[in-house]
Chain A
Amino acid sequence: MVSMKIIGKGAEAYIYSTKLFGKEVIVKRRMRKNYRIEALDESIRAARTKREVKVMYLLGKLGINAPKPIAFGKYDIYMSKVDGPLLRDYKHKNAQMFRVVGSVLGKMHNNNIVHGDFTPVNIVVSKGKICLIDFGFSSITNSVEDKAFDLLLMKRAISNAEYENFLAGYISAAANSRMTIARASKIEKMGRYQKRTIDML
């Protein structure tokens, strides 16, 4: 029996650190939620796990920095370890960094990969490089709306100046950036998605 050490708990999964073939790896395991009926619970956990592995694999193929999936079960993923602080907590944030984040997202969108929870909490700065994590809400889709939500989530979590750099990077890389940005401003004007008075993150 290999020891599994809990190193984090999110809303839906536990993150463990363990050893596989002598190498340190991270395990993300989606837990049973008692509030959900079993059939729904299983389908959500299994679908998200499968999609997350697929997205990580695709990102690897595109040369975008993300943990490498090593093995997976129905509800858990073994992946390579990424060291470094979250972009949110990183002390030496600069304009170039946000441009890179924008261009990485542009490249993903060109390949119809949507992150689904694209915020500075899901980006690690590893040895000075941007590395995306947590693809639990990802999808493979050409939906302009879903892509626009990636922009909006980031916008809500960073400063205006940071967002401008982020957007410049996005425009430089994304093929249909104009359409996505237009949809994002349309969503923002929707009655129920007005600018929130404060940001809790």
Chain B
Amino acid sequence: MLVIGIESSAHTFGVGIVDGERIIANEKSSYNVGTWGMIPSKVAEFHISNARATLERAVERAGIDLEEIEGVGYTMGPGIGPCLQVGELTAKTIAAKLNIDIVPVHHGIAHIEIAKKFAKLRDPIALYVSGGNSQILKLVEKPTKHYAVLGETFDIGVGNMLDNFARSIKLNPAWGSSVAKLAEGGKYIPLPYTVKGTDFAFTGLLTSAVEKIGKADPKDIAFSLQETAFSMLCEATERSLLLTNSRELCVCGGVAQSKRLKEMLSDVAKENGARFGYAPDEFNADNGAMIAYAAEKLIEKGISVPVKKCGIEQKYRIDRGLVW
């Protein structure tokens, strides 16, 4: 089945097209976060002016006619309201024009499912780490099939934390990979470490790191911030593996592009006799293909939603997201 997916929850406007299991297009336009970060109205304006061109590029790359598409999916949430609305409108327009099925997709579920596909894992514990989210999840059957939250952040997402630090220390672009670059060759200085069972919190760590700016070598702060945050995630993940007796682990979401995090998680998996996998970076960053992939599965299962009922939800909880 030919299905198109629209992603617009944050800085990326993405359009992906799948043909059954095959991804045949994954085009994106990304707002430049510069040193200032994301200003919701500006990002939404960026998406509006790039929606059409991105869509056309995806259709061209797929080598199909738009009219051949049989279903459409879009990110319902979680995400930035004005940004989500652009994707929703784009998807609704396609659905109305082509008179095809439309289905809202939970952003996090799409991230996990695309990781499972690439890593060839059946029933893993998933560490989902991005700007706004940091959660440890597992698909469970009862009382109804859904992603259960085993552990999560009590305050902000790990990506948000790294972005915030990057802005404070004036990196350009102000995001996690710039922090990783700065961290190279740094030495460890103690910072607060907060894990409560399988949950964790990042604001105390962030405040402490920001306070050290100007008082310690930037390299050392960046290195210690990253090591501390990732170690917290690894400890909570290891606990979740043990609690559920799982033998598979995957990592997904924007922060899963970090080489260091993947290296650490691979150690966690090895120590607990678990298989570990992830998707290529292109699919860990926000993208339309994962939305198309999830939408295709949902529509194949006969799950779609009347256009009138399609909306957005900024704080869409993953345990309420549609699964198949």
Binding site for B on A (CB under 8 A): 10-12, 33-37, 39-40, 43-44, 116-117, 137, 149, 153, 190-194, 196-198, 200-201
Contact = CB atoms under 8 A, between A and B. Distances in A.
A60 B263 CA distance: 42
B317 interface: yes
Contacts of B263: 35
B215 interface: no
A144 to B, nearest CB: 15
B235 A11 contact: yes
Q: Which of B196, B197, B263, B265 has the most CB of A within 10 A?
A: B197
Given A194-B317, A200-B138, A35 B231 contact: yes
Given A37-B227, A198-B142, 11 more contacts: A11-B235, A33-B231, A35-B234, A36-B264, A40-B228, A40-B231, A43-B190, A137-B195, A137-B197, A194-B317, A200-B243
Interface residues of B, number: 38
Interface of B: 138, 140, 142-143, 146, 148-150, 152-155, 188, 190, 193, 195-197, 227-228, 231, 234-235, 238-239, 242-244, 263-265, 267-268, 270-271, 315, 317, 319
Pairs A-B, 10 closest by C-beta atoms: A35-B264, A35-B267, A39-B188, A11-B239, A34-B267, A197-B319, A36-B231, A35-B234, A198-B148, A11-B238
B39 to A, nearest CB: 22
Nearest to A12: B235
Contacts of B197: 117, 137, 153
Contact of A11 (B242, B264, B267): B242
Contact of B234 (A36, A43, A149): A36
A197 to B, nearest CB: 5
B152 to A, nearest CB: 6
A33 to B, nearest CB: 8
Contacts of A196: 148-149, 319
A130 to B, nearest CB: 21
